[in-house]
Amino acid sequence: MATMYDVAKKAGVSVATVSRYFNGGYVSPAAREAIDTAVTALAYRPNHIARTLTNKSSKVIGLVVPSVTNPFFPELARAVEGEASRRGYQVVLCNAEGSVEKEQSFIDTLTASFADGIITSTGNCGEYYERNGIPVVSVDRELGTGAPHVTSDNYSGGRIVCDHLVEKGCTNLAFIGAPQESTSQKHRREGFFDEALRLGLSTPALFIADDTDEYQALYQEGQRLSNYQGIFAWNDFAAIQAIRALHQAGFAVPNHSMVVGFDDIHIAKLYTPSLSTVAQPIYEMGRAATELLLRQIDGEKLESVTYLLSVSLMVRETTKGGV
């Protein structure tokens, strides 16, 4: 049986265009003719139940995350699901695993299934979302298209970490980031580097960790990391793996090097040594993103709206004492 994907492929248009065609939205004459031809050739019959739902509301939203291995994103998903459920919506979780192609497939699937909107935390596929026409909100990582965005004050977070490490006696600093720099990572790094420059320190060294498996990338870096008194990792997951790499190389935290993360995921306070980190209001980020999406679904225009939430430093064992 032919699907909406088959029609879109044969007509040479997007799934969103086919969806608009069947739901009375604007479709250019050329696209309409191509879809007419494809529908006839494929003997396609639309799902009239789904069409009825979309003319009202499917009460379903998608949440696209870059990874479920980083605990930040399951915690974010919990917040989105909690707020959405309170407002009568169900959430479909989509794990893009850093793949643009996989994310685009999720966008097509959600559109074809008549989802009401999408929240994304990948920072990818901005133009694809824009062309698709479905309401979208970005959280943590910006799309760069003017879509509503919810984020914490990453730049200030980077500055706070630098100040804290210097107060602890660290003058030789390093930053650990992912190879594909998201907007959130960029702002954390810039805040950290700018504050080091303001304080008269050398530019911090830059280490690159894999976005999905920091430990694998950092495993061999313990010896080199040990050359730095203060280490700032762009997220808690990378920070914990850096501590592990230092330990494997025979260097203790915080006695030899101090480490600070970012996010304040649940395990940060349970790990030994407990992790000093910049706390993001993760639940509030998910709640605010859901609110913005539902306001768009209700017809409100929210282009270029940004929610900027404050952060705070949680001082724990990885920066206790002084170097």
Confidence of residue 81 (pLDDT cuts 50, 70, 90): very high
What residue type is assigned to position 179 of the chain?
P
Sign of CA dihedral 280, 281, 282, 288: negative
pTM of the prediction?
Answer: 0.78
pLDDT at 154: 97
3-state SS class at 63 = strand
Percent of the chain with pLDDT over 70: 92
Q: What is the rounded distance in angstroms from the CA atom of residue 56 to the CA atom of residue 114?
A: 10
Domain range 1-56, its CATH number among 1.10.260.40, 1.10.287.1080, 3.40.50.720, 1.20.810.10: 1.10.260.40
Assign 3-class secondary structure to 125-186. Answer: CHHHHHHHCCCEEEECCCCCCCCCEEEECHHHHHHHHHHHHHHCCCCCEEEEECCCCCHHHH
Q: Which amino acid is at 202?
A: S
- What pLDDT sits at residue 49? 45
* Structural tokens at position 258: 């101090």
CA distance 277 to 194: 19
Question: What is the pLDDT, as a whole number, of residue 52?
Answer: 45
Structure tokens at 103: 């994310």
Mean pLDDT in residue range 158-169: 98
Residue 46 has pLDDT above 70, yes or no: no
Sheet containing strand 306-309, edge to edge, reads 90-95, 60-65, 117-120, 136-139, 149-152, 306-309
Mean of the pLDDT values across residues 201-212?
84
Higher pLDDT, 311 or 141: 311
Least confident stretch, 18-32, 57-71, 241-255: 18-32
Token representation of residue 212: 């999905």
What would the DSSP string read from start to end of 16-45? HHHHHHHTT----HHHHHHHHHHHHHHT--
Q: Where are the domains of the chain?
A: 1-56, 154-280+312-319
Q: What is the pLDDT of residue 217?
A: 62
> Of 41-55, 259-273, 293-307, 309-323, which one has max mean pLDDT?
259-273
pLDDT at 216 over 70: no
Whether the pLDDT of residue 205 is over 80: the answer is yes
How far from each other are the two terminal CA atoms of the chain, in whole angstroms?
A: 68
**DSSP character at residue 211:** S
Give the SS3 label for residue 198.
helix
Please determine, for residue 263, whether its predicted confidence score (pLDDT) is greater than 70: yes
Superfamily of domain 154-280+312-319: Response regulator (3.40.50.2300)
Rounded to 5°, the CA angle 138-140-142 comes to 50
Mean pLDDT across the stretch 10-19? 84
Nearest of 87, 66, 99 to residue 77 by alpha carbon: 66
For residues 7 and 243, the model is more confident at 243
Q: What share of the chain is helix, strand, coil (3-state, %, to 5)?
A: 45, 15, 35
pLDDT (0 to 100) of residue 98? 81
